[in-house]
Homo-oligomer: A and B are copies of this chain.
Amino acid sequence: VGVGLIGGSVGLALREAGLAKTVVGIGRRASSLRKARACGAVTTTTTRLDRGVADAELIVVCSPVDRIVEHVVAAAGHCPEGALITDAGSIKGRILEGLDQRLPDGFPRGVDFVGAHPMAGSEKTGPEFARADLFAGRVCLVTPGESAPRRAVRGVTDFWESLGARVIRMSPAEHDSVVATVSHLPHIAAAALADLASRPQLEAVGPGWLDTTRIAAGDVELWQQILSGNRVAVLKALDEFEKLLASYRAALATDNARELTDLLRAGRDKRRAGERLGRGNA
């Protein structure tokens, strides 16, 4: 459900690995569905979610975060018994809350949902940028709610691992705190850094600026939804960031070279550890 960069890459990866004979692409826009078909990401397409999931064993909801609850509920209402549903949304707590509100008695018998968040986006959007190896070696956070059956958690874990991802399991709340720090706050910082440069200054940007601000080129509406959807955790991360910047300010204002060195060293060491731990075997 949703045949953009993520949904398209799921389809390509499944087909390239021979894991699915039929991949149904479900989307609102005929043009995106056409592109997804053209690049081989899906075998059939439909704009009708109810029909698209009618024979599904596994449903991957790759919609924008504001539509995920609605699409999971619709899929749960029309899929066969035994179907497993996962998603690829960047926030988790609010989606589970939304599902609890919409399905107060839980999912229909024999249908389960376990959320996931593959850490493998791009500032590019659309199925034309989909790649079969988008998830290879990348972390995928799998975030079961408290009531998710063990079998469903295992199934969703197996699914993302079959696409090459390294799965890490954590609670939805833990997820939201992690991504606030390693994804959402960096997006704000990148966008703010980019915004500060005047037009003449932009002539002078080098590879450092281009790397640091790259994610700011991402889809604005998508990111507004993500940041708003995770605002409590993002505000907490922003607090910590501002405190740390105040330490840099103090070190610069007092010309304290030793303190500045300590701060830079701490950042460098974490960056190196992140390179080692986060890049994984990719």
Interface residues of A (CB under 8 A from B): 119-122, 138-139, 141, 168, 178-179, 181-183, 185-218, 220-221, 223-224, 227-228, 231, 234-235, 237-238, 240-242, 244-245, 248-249, 252-253, 255, 257, 260-261, 263-268, 270-275, 277-279
Inter-subunit contact B224/A196 (CB<8 Å): no
The reply to whether B216 and A267 form a contact with Cβ atoms under 8 Å apart is yes
Which residues of B are found within 8 Å of A221, using beta-carbon distances?
261
| A252 touches which of B138, B178, B234, B241 (Cβ 8 Å) | B234
CA A261 to CA B220, docked complex, whole Å? 6
Residue contact A235 to B252, C-beta cutoff 8 Å: yes
Q: Which residues from B are CB-within-8-Å of A265?
A: 220
Contacts of A206 in B (CB 8 A): 119-121, 138-139, 182-183, 278
20 other contacts beyond A120-B206, A195-B244, A203-B277, with CB at 8 A cut-off?
A119-B204, A119-B207, A182-B201, A186-B193, A186-B213, A190-B271, A191-B263, A191-B267, A191-B268, A194-B270, A195-B267, A196-B237, A202-B277, A205-B277, A224-B257, A227-B264, A228-B255, A231-B252, A231-B255, A241-B245
Q: A223 contacts which chain B residues (CB < 8 A)?
A: 264
Shortest CB-to-CB span from A122 to chain B, Å, is 8
* A179→B193 contact, CB < 8 A: no
The answer to whether B217 touches A275, judged by C-beta atoms less than 8 angstroms apart, is yes
When chains A and B are docked, how far (Å) is the Cα of A277 from the Cα of B227? 29
